[in-house]
Structure 1
C-alpha cells in the first residue's frame, strides 16, 4: 500500500473538522465553571401569637321594618310628615276623612242610650211587679215576660257597648300613626287618594336604622376549622364568648368607626352554597349603614401560635399543595411542604412545616431549585405577583 500526498491532505482536513466541533464544547465547560452564584433574599421566621382574622361578606339588615297601611276605608285628608325624615313611635302620619266614622260613633252611642233607657224602665216595672206577684194582683206570666225582656235588653246593651267601642276604634284609626321609630320612606298615596283596608301595597315604610343587624355569610368549612383548633387547644379565645368584635369595611374601602358584636349563628346550612348565616349587631347613630348595603366583615376569632411568612415566599405544586424554599446553614436551597392557615394582609399564617430560625427564600423563589447554592442576603423584596 502506497501512502500518497492526497492521503495526508484528507487526514488533516478530517482532524481540522473534529477540532472545530470540539471547541464549542470546551468553551461551554469553561463558561459553566465560571457562572457566578446567584444572590437570594430571605427572611428569618420565628413563632409568634397571631390574631386570626377572617374576612367575610355581610349585608346590612334593619332591626325592624314597619309597613304603614290604613285600617279603615276613606279618602286621605292630609299627610302630616316630611318624606325621608325620622319619625317617632306614636307620631301621626296621615289623617283619613273622619266624618263618616264620627257619624257612625254617634249612631252607636244613641242606640246604646236607647237600650239603657229601656233597661231602666224594665227594672222599675219588675220592682212594682214583685210585691203584686205574691198577692196574685199580677199574673205570673206577665212577671216572667218582663224579667225575660230585661235580660234580653241587658245582652243588647253589651252588644251596643261593643259597637260603640268599635266605632271609637274606627274613628281613632282615621289617624294613621307610626308603630316604630325610624326613617320613613316616600309616601305612595297623596292627598285625596282613596285608602282601603285590604290594599296590597303599603302607603309608606318605616325602617329602624339604629342599631342594625349585619348578616354575615360564612362557609361551613371555616366553622369546622375553628372547632378543630378549639378542640386541639390552639386558640385562646373563640367565638361564643361574651364579646366577639367584628370590623366592618364599607364599599369604598373605608373602615366603619364602630365595631359590631356577634349575636348568634344559624343552625341551618344553605344547601346550595354550603354556608351559614351569622348575625351581628352594630350601632348606627349617623345612619351611614343603609338597609341592603354590602360590607366586608373582619371577624376577630382568637389567637394562635404560628409563623408569618411573606406571601411572595409561598408556592403551590401541581396538586395545589403549598410549599416554600429554605436556605440552610450551607446556603443551599431546601424544599419544605407546609400547612397554611390563611392570608392576613401580605403574610401567610403558616402552622406547620417550618421551625424557629428558618431562613425562608422570598426573592422570586420560582427561579431557584432545590440543591442550588446561593448567596444569602437577609431582607424582604417588594411584593410581586406570586402563584398561591
Structure 2
C-alpha cells in the first residue's frame, strides 16, 4: 500500500515537470502534445481489367419431368419398378390386366383372315367379268364386280388397321418409361382400377442430369448491361457461363451454359428469367432447389475499391477518402457498378494514381492532415503493411 502511494506521488511530480518544460518551450497550455498529422494506410489506385460478374438468385428445374398416366383402362396387376431407381427409355413400370385386349386382338386377326380370304375371290370375279365384257357379261355386271372388289379391298384395309390398333392397345397395357430419369413413388397399388387418360398420374419420372437452373435478374440491370456494351465500357464474353453456390454454401463443381436469355419481364417482380444448363452426374442439384448463381458477363476497365474503404450514405452514393495535393484527407463521391470479390467496382470518382485511404478511417475527417503508409489488402479485407508483406513473401 505504501509502495502504491509513493508511486502515484512520483508520477504526479513527473507530469508537473513535463508541463513546466512544455510551457517554457512555448507549448500549449496544460502540457497537451502538439497536434500532428494522422497516420493512415493507403493503396494506389490503378485502372485494371475486371470481370463483370452478376450474382442472381436461381432455382433448379428438371431437364425433363413426365407424369405417367394410363392410355387404357383396367386393373393394375403388377408394379414393375422400384421407386427412386434410375430408368431408361422403355423400362417397364406397370402392367394392367390385358385379358380384354388379348381378346380384341384375336377378334381383329380373325376378321383380317376373313377379309384376306375374300379379297382373292372378288379379284378373280372382277378379272373374269372384265375379260368377258360384251361376251356374256354386260357392262352393269362388270361394274358390280368392280364394286365388290373395291369393298373387299376396303374391308381388308380396315381389318388390318383394326388389328394394328388392337395390338397397340395391348402394348399400352404395359406402361413403360418415356424418358431416362428417376422414378417417384407409385400412387396406385396392385388391384387398383385405372382408366384411360385419368387425371391422377400413376407416378412421375424426372431427368436431373443435365439440369436447368433459372436465374432471375432485374430488367433495369439488364438495360444497364446492354448500355455498357453499346457504349464500349463492357466487353461481352462470346459464351456466357455461370457458377453456382448451393444452399449449404458449397460451390457446385462445374459451369453452366446459357440456354436462353429470357424474352419476357415478370409483371409482378420486374425480373427476367435466364436459363442455364448444368451437368449433374451425381444428382447433387435436385429440381426445386434454391441456389445462388454468378454469371460472368464480360470484362470492364475500372478501379477496385476495398469495401472497408467506402461507405454508402443516405443518398445511396459511395464516399471515400483520398489524399489531396495539400497532403490532407479529401472526401470523394464514387459511382459504383457492383462488386468483385471484396471490393467495389468504381468507374467514376477516382483518377489514376490516387492514394485511397483504407486504414485509420475511424477518426478521419475531411481536411485533416495525414501521413500515408503504403498497405495491402488481403483476401479477408484486412489491411497489412506493404513492407512487412514483402518481407514475409
The answer for the alignment partner of 1:122 in structure 2 is 122
Structure-2 residue corresponding to 1:227: 226
2: distance between equivalents of 1:140 and 1:300? 84
Aligned to 1:4: none
Distance 2:315 2:142 in 1: 103
Deviations 1:63-93 (A, max 9, x none): 2222211111111121111110100011122
- Of residues 253, 256, 276, the one that matches 1:257 is 253
Matched ranges for 1:132-171 at <5 A: 134-136=134-136, 144-171=143-170
* Shift in Å, 1:134: 3.6
TM-superposed CA distance for 1:146, in Å, is: 4.4
> Cα gap change, 1:311/1:160 in structure 2, threshold over 3 Å: closer, same or farther?
same
The alpha-carbon distance between structure 1 residues 377 and 120, as it changes in their structure 2 partners (threshold 3 A), is same
Q: Is the 8 A contact 1:313 1:364 kept in 2?
A: no
Contact 2:92–2:175 (CA under 8 A) maintained in structure 1? yes
Matched, 1:89 2:102: no
Contact 2:129 2:145 in 1 (8 A): no
Q: Which of 348, 353, 358 pairs up with 2:349?
A: 353
Gaps of 5+ in 2: 1-27, 383-393
SS in structure 2 at match of 1:270: coil
Partners of 1:160 and 1:247 in 2: CA distance: 59
Deviations 1:21-76 (A, max 9, x none): xxxxxxx9767884554433332222222112111111111222222111111111
SS in structure 2 at match of 1:244: strand
Alignment map for 1:205-354 (pairs within 5 Å): 205-236=204-235, 238-239=236-237, 241=238, 243-354=239-350
CA distance in structure 2 between the aligned counterparts of 1:208 and 1:191, rounded to whole angstroms: 26
Cα displacement (A) at 1:361: 2.1
**Alpha-carbon distance between aligned partners in 2 of 1:143 and 1:44, rounded to the nearest angstrom:** 107
8 Å contact kept, 1:112–1:160: yes
Local SS of the residue matching 2:57: strand
Structure 2 residue matching 1:379: 3-state secondary structure: strand
Length-normalised TM-score, structure 1? 0.83
Query: What is the count of residue pairs matched by the alignment?
Result: 354
Structure 2 distance, partners of 1:343, 1:29, is 50
1:374 to 370, 374, 379: 370
Equivalent residue of 1:269, what SS? coil
Note the 1:177-192 alignment, pairs <5 A: 177-192=176-191
Q: Which residue of 1 aligns with 2:4?
A: none
Shift, 1:369, TM fit: 2.1
1:45 aligns with 2:24: no
Aligned CA RMSD, in angstroms, stands at 2.6
CA distance in 1, matches of 2:363, 2:34: 20
Query: In the superposition, relative to structure 1, how do residues 135 and 329 fare at CA in structure 2: closer, same or farther (>3 Å)?
Result: closer
The CA deviation string for residues 305-350 of structure 1, in whole angstroms up to 9 with x for no partner, is 2111111211233322222111235431111122111122321111
Q: Is the 8 A contact 1:362 1:380 kept in 2?
A: no
**CA 1:290 to 1:338, structure 2 compared with 1: closer, same or farther past 3 Å?**
same
1:174 aligns with 2:170: no
Preserved CA contact (<8 Å) 1:41 1:377 = yes
CA displacement at 1:149 relative to structure 2: 3.0
Instruction: Considering fraction of residues, name the structure with more strand.
Output: 2
Q: Partners in 2 of 1:262 and 1:151 — Cα distance?
A: 59
Please state whether the residue corresponding to 2:156 is helix, strand or coil. Answer: helix
**Runs of 4+, deviation exceeding 6 Å:** none
2:21 counterpart residue number? none
- Partner SS, residue 252 of structure 2: coil
- Alignment partner of 2:233: what SS? coil
Cα separation, 2, equivalents of 1:174 and 1:159? 23
